[in-house]
Structure 1
Amino acid sequence: MTGPLARDLMTPDVVTVPPETPVMAMARLLADRGISAVPVVDGAGKVLGIVTEADLIRRLAGEEDKPASWFGALFADPASQAERFARTHGVTAQDLMTEKVVTVTPDTTAAHVAQMMERQGIRRVVVVENDKLRGIVSRADLLRALVAPPHQDVELSDERVRRAVMEAMKKQPWTDTFYTMVEVKDGIVTFHGFRRSDAIQKALRVLAEGIPGVKDVKDDTQPMPVFIYGGA
């Protein structure tokens, strides 16, 4: 048994942007979706690069860059200076993105993915098949694989269902993934934490029931405390 593969660990529903996406639109996207990176793809779905939180922070910090001293400029590499200028003053995803994206196939083992991340000092790899984006594997995904019990086939199936529910929740403006936690055991989805309203919990049940692999949905949430929600 080779252990879990990238296809078992990856987040399949990846948010992507075209190369002409403005910087501020990407910043809002990452903040609204609670994600730390977004692949840049062309019209055919081919991965051109990736923009991370670090790239956006570097872009904002670059607005305050001071010109290098004349002495420092003597020893600076013009190509590196030009690349930094483009990435700290660019206005689109194409300007900011890292083009050298580390990719794996869906059949790459988790162990090999971990080695690649460690060796290259990166936080995520892009899963590509037939030159098309299939998903992303992050360090958090690998951590879940490490702590999974030996009977991984069942556990990974439940984990994939849980992640599918979480991804579906992130796409809805009325959900609250901060105070609502999701657990999946033997195909049964259980919501824990706090709820803002019965209407939201009903919608969450409908959402979860629409995820393939979900056998039942349970709600163990508690009413949102007034000191958190400032309820009426």
Structure 2
Amino acid sequence: MRVKDVMSPTIVGVSPDNSVRQAARIMLDHRVSGLPVVGGDGQLAGIISEGDLIRRTELGGALIASDPEPTEPAEERANAYVRRTSWKVGDAMTPDPITIDENASVSRAATLMQRHGIKRIPVTRDGALVGIVSRADLLQAIIAARPDGTASGDEAIQKSVTVRLLENTGLEALGLKVTVENGIVHLWGVVEASECKRAARTVAESVPGVKGVVEHFT
């Protein structure tokens, strides 16, 4: 599934020349945690989010920054002052935001959100802004995902479980053995950590056609 399949094509954005107060009002009215900032040329200039606004002077940002680190460069402190004090969105926003192409996979979007700690990503087509994908949009991908076809027979289930145990599960080095009888998966091996036991069971239960899982760990 691609980002364009789950993104919101309706873009609620602001101009760099809008006020921070306007941006906060739009976020509240539309119940979003961030807004793209679009310049007069239609190009994405940045993004302003809740994270940017909680540093504001109106919320005590000046008090938070009243005792700066002595080693912090003057340029960085000056820039921080402008971001928390200026009334303009263009000064308070985060420039050069993370973006994603509309044809990228939803898994790529999820990876970027997790890696950078963000909730929404502007979606582009040939560099132009065409939508927004959020964490809520990714939930749609989970709902719409089609389940795998049911494995046919014990042998097919055994092969599926064995392969999945080696797919970045943390169990690759344990050398677990898998047998299947009438749809019941039996897991064999030396496993000490409860987390690894739970992961092994999860792997087996994720294979269509499995009726139950029995652990024989020592």
Query: Under TM normalisation by the shorter chain, which class is it?
Result: 0.5 to 0.7
Name stretches of at least 5 consecutive residues in structure 2 with no aligned partner. Answer: 148-218
The separation in 1 between residues aligned to 2:47 and 2:136, in whole angstroms, is: 18
Give 1:143's aligned amino acid: L
What is the TM-score with the length of structure 1 in the denominator?
A: 0.58
Pair 145,93 (structure 1): closer, same or farther in 2 beyond 3 Å: same
2:35 to 12, 30, 38: 38
Pair 99,62 (structure 1): closer, same or farther in 2 beyond 3 Å: farther
Contact 2:33/2:119 (8 A) holds in 1: no
Contact 1:61/1:88 (8 A) holds in 2: no
The separation in 2 between residues aligned to 1:113 and 1:66, in whole angstroms, is: 33
Measured after TM superposition, the shift of residue 22 of structure 1 is 0.7
Measured after TM superposition, the shift of residue 62 of structure 1 is 4.3
Measured after TM superposition, the shift of residue 143 of structure 1 is 2.1
2:9 to 12, 20, 23: 12
2:26 to 23, 26, 29: 29
1:146 to 136, 142, 147: 142
Higher-Rg structure is 2
Give 2:120's aligned amino acid: R
Partner of 2:47: 50
Give 1:77's aligned amino acid: P
* 1:129-165, Cα deviation, whole Å (9 max, x unpaired): 12211011111111221232418xxxxxxxxxxxxxx
TM-align CA RMSD: 1.9
The separation in 2 between residues aligned to 1:85 and 1:142, in whole angstroms, is: 35
* Identity in percent: 34
**1:154-193 alignment runs, 5 A limit:** none
Give 1:29's aligned amino acid: I
Give 1:114's aligned amino acid: A
How many residue pairs were aligned? Answer: 146
Give 1:65's aligned amino acid: L
Q: Secondary structure at the match of 1:29?
A: helix
Q: Secondary structure at the match of 1:136?
A: strand
Measured after TM superposition, the shift of residue 54 of structure 1 is 2.1
Measured after TM superposition, the shift of residue 56 of structure 1 is 1.8
Within the alignment, does 1:113 sit opposite 2:135 as a pair? no
1:78 to 74, 78, 81: 74
The separation in 2 between residues aligned to 1:120 and 1:48, in whole angstroms, is: 18
Pair 65,11 (structure 1): closer, same or farther in 2 beyond 3 Å: same
What is the TM-score with the length of structure 2 in the denominator?
A: 0.61
2:132 to 132, 136, 150: 136
